[in-house]
Amino acid sequence: MQDLQEKTALVTGVANKRSIAFAIAERLAHFGVKLAIAYQPLENKDAEKKLRKLTEDIGPALLLPLDVSQPESVEGLFDTLKKEFGRVDILVHSIATALREELAGRPSDVSLEGYLLAQQVSAYSLIELTRRARPLMEGGGSIIALTFIGSQRTTPNYNVMGSAKAALEANMRYLAMELGPEKIRVNAVSAGPIRTLSASGIKDFLDLLHTAEEKSALKRNITTGEVANTVAFLASDLSSGITGQTLFVDGGFNIWG
Ligand SMILES: NC(=O)c1ccc[n+]([C@@H]2O[C@H](COP(=O)([O-])OP(=O)(O)OC[C@H]3O[C@@H](n4cnc5c(N)ncnc54)[C@H](O)[C@@H]3O)[C@@H](O)[C@H]2O)c1
């Protein structure tokens, strides 16, 4: 993936070593991409120091706070990015949140507040980040969002996040159609279940892991490294003909019926 050596990327959603975004940042750095890594601001300064140390191990990267629920935070991040990098070739959206009780409760009990929160942070943010990144992608770019099969099928205890991921995937397709003429490709990677901080908010997540292992074609769960490899492929010119797609990295779990 030689073309990646010339490129710059913004990778959002690094919370810790288990984050899918952390594996993506590692893999892109391995291929020579110049990195900006965005993390949700933490109140605990020790946690922030730990994150700084963790990302230093990947190599030099611009570490920037980002809260997608605060428009001024998004604006501040892109101001810095413009000043430091001048352009962005790759944008990775790896952000999601929902109220824990809205995930485990009954779908018919989802509150408007919880619904809007999940939509704003997990789906609308792709539109906002894309709008800000676009002027920095002159001549072309690649935008990749992380999604889950709960957008298309019912997954126990995924409820409000299923709606958010369905919206995220629709946003991805509409953005791909709009930005295609500017050589900006937009795709999504639908990962199988992986134990991360976000996943720990899903009730009975271990059952989901066991089901995916038992029912998937490969008869195993997938790793963050495998997701990161696919993101690197979508970021590189090797995937130049692919846009508006959701690529499954789930060991073939999605074909089970
Ligand atoms: N773990 C899985 O099983 C799985 C499977 C498929 C897709 N995904 C998706 O992958 C992405 C990354 O999740 P993960 O599993 O690595 O967990 P994670 O908890 O490590 O990452 C989620 C990230 O979202 C960030 N975030 C939440 N609210 C934010 C806000 N307001 N502003 C900015 N950032 C915010 C968190 O800080 C965190 O870094 C998510 O979109 C998730 O839905 C996860």
Sequence ranges of the domains in the chain = 2-250
The pair phi, psi for residue 241, each rounded to 5°, is -95, 5
- The C-alpha atoms of residue 94 and residue 200 are separated, in whole angstroms, by 16
pLDDT by position in tens, the chain (length 257): 778 998 999 999 999 999 999 999 999 999 999 999 999 987 777 877 888 899 898 988 999 999 999 999 999 999 999 999 999 999 999 999 999 999 998 999 999 999 999 999 999 999 999 999 999 999 999 999 999 999 999 999 999 999 999 999 999 999 999 999 999 999 999 999 999 999 999 999 999 999 999 999 999 999 999 999 999 999 999 999 999 999 999 999 999 98
pLDDT of 164: 98
Rounded to the nearest angstrom, the distance between the alpha carbon of 94 and the centre of ligand 1 is 5
Amino acid at 79: D
Copy the structure tokens of residue 137: 């992608």
d(CA 187, CA 236): 12
Q: Which helix (H) or strand (E) holds 248?
A: strand 246-249
Phi-psi region of 111 (alpha: psi -120 to 50; beta: other; left: phi over 0): beta
Residue 40 confidence (pLDDT): 94
CB 196 within 8 Å of CB 21:
no
pLDDT at 59: 85
Q: What is the pLDDT of residue 57?
A: 87
Q: How far apart are CA 158 and CA 150, in angstroms?
A: 7
DSSP string, 107-142: GGG--HHHHHHHHIIIIIHHHHHHHHHGGG-TT-EE
CA of 18 to the centre of ligand 1 (A): 10
Q: Rounded to an integer, what is the distance from CA 95 to the centroid of its chain?
A: 5
State how far the Cα of 163 lies from the Cα of 62, in Å rounded to an integer: 33
Can you list the positions of beta strands (E) in 66-221? 90-93, 141-147, 184-191
Query: Does this model's pTM top 0.95?
Result: yes
Q: Output the CA 2–ligand 1 centroid distance in Å.
A: 29
Confidence (pLDDT) at 204: 94
**Which residues does a 6 A CB cutoff place in the pocket of ligand 1?**
13-15, 19-21, 40, 66-69, 94-97, 121, 146-148, 191, 193-194, 196-199
Superfamily holding 2-250: NAD(P)-binding Rossmann-like Domain (3.40.50.720)
For residue 54, give the amino acid letter.
L
Atom of ligand 1 nearest to the CA of 224: 16
What is the token pair recorded at 76? 């501040």
